[in-house]
Structure 1
């Protein structure tokens, strides 16, 4: 199912968020405008901004405040991807050339910094100090998660608990903020704010787990990146950790980490695909979706709540 269908109650309002994002490309320095055109070309799902708007539907739905917040969430996400591409040395993302494939890494890092600054400018337009502090805290948590991932690359001593803590920081925290921030700006009750934060966090955990499953089981053409990309970068995810648990003494993951070879990477992907590891991983994702569903129970039953509920089902069904 297309996300645009699930966004129903806020689909038209997302056009304003997209307009804000596109306006950022209008700068009087051609090289910067060219780089911004690459990363803000449009066509993204706008999942995080949609969550912000949906969360705001349970209170005072003021688009003059919610649109800048939603744009800031998307810019924060996009800026982190720009930095990720430099770290990973990625030439493409979702089948499109990355900025660092055409410009120096140093320049690309500074582009990410520029976008972080723009994200901060957008969130400041809410005039809500609580949301501004939430934004700052989230950026710190995300960065801590990224640092942890970098420092543990090719380290086979990690556990599933380590993995969950890492994705909670680098991925789920922003989904939580997207929902919590929307509820705060809409002046909802503390009970609803916490419910939406909990929903967003668990949604984000499920989203990342599915993303990591697809890195083994997905179609390269649909995903826009090679299968096994995480292992290629030395990143342990849930499927690879489960594979190591089942074969503690002899598995291609540890061999690949000790001496990277393409055939070991291919063997790890094949072993995961031929076992019930994807199913076990999906079971964990479902458990986080169930927690997200449960968090919504305190909210009124209206189109926004139903959209949030259905989006968790989309997370489990997506293929890219």
Structure 2
């Protein structure tokens, strides 16, 4: 994500030039539509609107604060930009609401945005004592404090182990439940103290900040990030017009594996391996645009450390399926 937050921090979109290069071939016709499913502060969208004058962008974000900042930033582009308050798995209904049967391109830059990390009151970061919120849409839903105060030890262990890949999940969960018997969880400071107490010193020295995995797990649980992604990636692949492209930047191994699985299914040739020819209509509907997952360069990582864990994948629709798929780019139903 890029732009300037209320705290004044400047943010740089990850792999910006590569993302725009992958999207550009699908957007070089008049009225081409990109759906930026994770708009954030609008860094990727701004670059697309600036570099590809034939394009327009529908920007989706569940975070009302990000939407307001992005709308202000992108105002110079007029009606070429439309902001929508929604979760990105609602992409099909967003397209329908805009009178569109298909998208020419879809972009997902997954995970927590720089803006959310850098605004202490949101509770995503562990560097300061702040309310344990962690909701990307802070107008609805349960907070991280709600999770800590209501989940059983077994449920907390599952969350920490599955989403945080935390080796000491069971020990941490048990201590969370024990301590909430004295006082409910409300802010991040006491949770960070607990993690320093519970995680052994050798693991703290070699495994990065002891709160990193727990905070990541809580954030993913609060926002149902994997559930949303499981619905959103297949929906995006299906929503493409012929020649359309989906580009995804993932920062967590579970996210990347899910994206890889969907992209592999869409590009697989589903015929017996000994068949001498491919029957008409049996060709894959999509083709891979990246060989495996692409990574940020060492130079970019040095300039923007948040690029270190990115995995970028992309596919292109090459033909319609026999199902009821979109018929042409940007065509209204």
Structure that is richer in helix per residue: 1
TM above 0.5, yes or no, is: no
Larger radius of gyration: 2
**TM-score scaled by length of structure 1:** 0.28
Q: Which structure: greater strand fraction? A: 2
